[in-house]
Amino acid sequence: MLDVGKWPIFALHSQEELKLIRQACVFGSAGNEALYATENDEVFGLGTNCSGCLGIGDTQSSTEPQRLGILCGKKIACLSYGSGPHVVAVTTEGEVYTWGHNAYSQLGNGTTNQSLVPCQISTNLLNKKVIEVACGSHHSMVLTSDGEVYTWGYNNSGQVGSGSTANQPIPRRVTSCLQNKIAINIACGQMCSVAVIENGEVYVWGYNGNGQLGLGNSANQPTPCRIAALQGIHVRRIGHRVIYWKLDIFLTNSVRDQHLECWVACGYAHTLVLTEKGMLYAWGANSYGQLGTGNRSNQSYPAPVTVDKDRCEHFRSVLNNNNDDIIEISEFSYPVFRAFLEYLYTDSISLPPEDAVGLLDLATFYRENHLKKLCQQTIKQGISEENAIALLSAAVKYEAKELEEFCFRFCINHLTVVTQTPGFAEMDHDLLKNFISKASRVGAFKN
């Protein structure tokens, strides 16, 4: 099960409905739109839909999931959202469907007309099996099973790699120096594109105003160009692993202490790669510290990201507490995972009090006493008469003595209201018995 319950867009879904969600893509300026596929291969859209990217045939908002009949029954392998906005979906059979805005031909259907429903794109892809998709703001890119890269859409900076700056209305293979090479991984920035070749070389093209191509300059590149600074450094397709630093976090179905395979990814105007030897390199825009280089200066060459070795060892030792342990994402929410990984690298946490109980659970499991203390401090900030009993129960369950005493004192000070809450009525029998006994000892029931 994919845990999407913490996203507000799914707040009206029942637990039974949430358990059926196999894959989800949440987008929009406030995360107020979503597309998702269920275990039985039904596809739905819901949310504000002002962009028409829900693919339901209109631009009407809906708090109720709307079925995308065209895609139902097809196994969705991957979805990508471009901030243009538009959406590209790929099925396990390798079919490509697009919908949304299309002013720059980012849908690849040969027109500039908006499409409010998914339409299959077959031009130049008819006998190809697409296995991966990436979207820039107004351009799209796919990777086929035989290692070919196809692009279409907006091309003002050469982001489709055709050698010109003319928009490309249909998918065309990116050739030039990729002609006889097999690509294994692709990524898109806002107006740039990246491909990783099977021998580990990285090729880039498109907009380069922030140095996001890693070529050592800020000139746009209309055709693929190999990053010479990564010569001899092998970058490969990402595996099911986790890496975290600064503002970027990447999570997949499970976390296991194994060797990190390698990958490439693009942000809005920066690029990140992880090598087969576990080295991190970053380049491009850095005004928010997104490169993790210790400063906020843009970087036009790939720069190694130095990770604190002690912190890495701490990360490894915690996750390797038991070689058989796997942290399943279905057991914990995304904010909990993010906060856990942030703590492993920074010794601090930043998350809402309501999410800190889940983090307290993880901290207890891995015997991270310092993290438990931080969780207790955070949870205290969110206590109320309505949740005091629930927090007291959690404190007892996870042996958080400091939090337990705090919650108990809070309950005593607000005893009349707390005893009238549903939480008190549903209190565990043994906990209730101990609570009454302890409350009596401190004189809570005296007139």
pLDDT average, residue stretch 373-377: 94
CA separation for the pair 338, 327 (Å, rounded): 13
> Looking at the predicted structure, is the pLDDT value of residue 293 above 90?
no
Instruction: List CB contacts of 350: < 8 A, sequence separation 6 or more.
Output: 339, 342
Q: How far apart are the first and last CA of the chain?
A: 52
- Number of Cβ atoms within 10 Å of the Cβ of 138: 24
CA distances from 387 to 169, 189, 377 (A): 56, 43, 16
Which of 80-84, 325-329, 422-426 shows the lowest per-residue confidence on average (mean pLDDT)?
A: 325-329
> Span 187-215, mean pLDDT?
95
Main-chain dihedrals φ then ψ at residue 369, nearest 5 degrees: -65, -40
Of 190, 110, 135, which Cα lies nearest the Cα of 157? Answer: 190
pLDDT for 364 equals 86
Residue 238: phi and psi, rounded to 5, are -70, 145
Q: What percent of the chain has pLDDT over 70?
A: 86
Share of the chain above pLDDT 90, in %: 60
Per-residue pLDDT at 141 exceeds 50 = yes
Can you give the pLDDT at residue 135? 95
% helix, strand, coil for the chain, step of 5: 25, 30, 45
Per-residue pLDDT band at 274 (split at 50, 70, 90): confident
> Which of 63-77, 339-353, 369-383, 427-441 comes out lowest in average pLDDT?
339-353
- Give pLDDT, residue 445: 72
Residue-level pLDDT at 311: 54
* pLDDT value of position 309: 54
Please check whether residue 102 is in contact with residue 79, taking contact to mean a CB–CB distance below 8 angstroms. no
Q: What's the pLDDT tens digit per position in 99-116?
A: 999 999 999 999 999 999
- Give bridge partners of residue 86 from the DSSP assignment: 82, 100
- Cite the beta strand spans of 145-210 per DSSP E: 149-153, 168-173, 183-188, 192-197, 202-206
The structural architecture, per CATH, of the domain 328-441 is: 2-Layer Sandwich (3.30)
Give dist(CA 422, CA 386) in Å, integer.
8
Q: Within a 10 A sphere around the Cβ of 368, how many other Cβ atoms? A: 21
Check whether 254 has a pLDDT greater than 50: no
What mean pLDDT comes out for the span 357-367? 86
Helices then strands, each counted (H, E), the chain? 10, 24
Looking at the predicted structure, is the pLDDT value of residue 322 above 60? no
At the topology level, CATH places domain 1-174 in Methylamine Dehydrogenase; Chain H (2.130.10)
Q: State the Cα–Cα distance between residues 318 and 200, nearest whole angstrom.
A: 31
Residue at 288: amino acid letter: Y
The answer on pLDDT for 441 being more than 70 is yes
- Three-point CA angle 231, 236, 238, nearest 5°: 145
CA distance 57 to 52: 8
Instruction: Please tell me the predicted confidence (pLDDT) of residue 420.
Output: 92
> Does residue 408 register a pLDDT over 50?
yes
Let me know: does 217 contact 168? Beta carbons within 8 Å.
Answer: no
Do the Cβ atoms of 378 and 356 come closer than 8 Å? yes
Higher confidence at residue 113 or residue 331? 113
pLDDT value of residue 8: 85
- Contacts of 11-17 with C-beta under 8 Å, sequence gap 24+, read 12/63, 12/64, 13/65
Residue 329's pLDDT is: 44
Supply the pLDDT for residue 261. 38
Q: Do domains 1-174 and 328-441 have the same CATH topology?
A: no
pLDDT: which is higher, 212 or 294 = 212
Q: Note the pLDDT of residue 277.
A: 72
> Residue 312: is its pLDDT beyond 80?
no
Residue 58 pLDDT > 60: yes
Residue 221: enclosing H or E segment and its boundaries? strand 221-226
What's phi and psi for 397, nearest 5 deg? -60, -40
Mean pLDDT within 150-177: 97
Long-range contacts, stretch 255-258, CB < 8 angstroms, 24+ apart: 255/319, 255/326, 255/327, 256/319, 256/326, 257/316, 257/319, 257/320, 257/323
- Predicted local distance difference test score (pLDDT) of residue 240: 29
Q: Which of 130, 178, 138, 134 is nearest to 156 (CA)?
A: 138
Confidence of residue 187 (pLDDT cuts 50, 70, 90): very high
Report residue 220's pLDDT band, with 50, 70 and 90 as the boundaries.
very high
More confident residue, 205 or 430: 205
- Cα separation, 110 vs 7, in Å, equals 36
Q: What's the CA gap between 425 and 405, in Å, rounded?
A: 20
Residue 96 predicted with pLDDT over 80: yes
Residue written as tokens 């498109």?
206
Which pLDDT does position 318 carry in this prediction? Answer: 53
Four-CA torsion 344, 350, 352, 356, nearest 10 degrees: 30
pLDDT band at 447 (very low <50, low <70, confident <90, very high): low
Residue 239, pLDDT > 80, answer: no
pLDDT at 262 over 60: no
**pLDDT of the residue at 324:** 42
Most confident listed range (2-16, 164-178, 361-375) = 164-178
Strands 168-173 and 149-153: antiparallel
> 55 near 85, Cβ under 8 Å?
no
* Mean pLDDT, range 165-173, rounded to an integer: 98
Residue ranges of E strands in 48-201: 62-67, 76-82, 86-91, 96-100, 115-120, 130-135, 139-144, 149-153, 168-173, 183-188, 192-197
Please report, for the chain, the start and end positions of each structural domain, with discontinuous segments joined by +. 1-174, 178-307, 328-441
pLDDT of residue 247: 29
Identify the weakest region by mean pLDDT among 12-21, 114-123, 173-182, 437-446. 437-446
| Band (313; pLDDT cuts 50, 70, 90) | low
Mean pLDDT (the chain) is 85
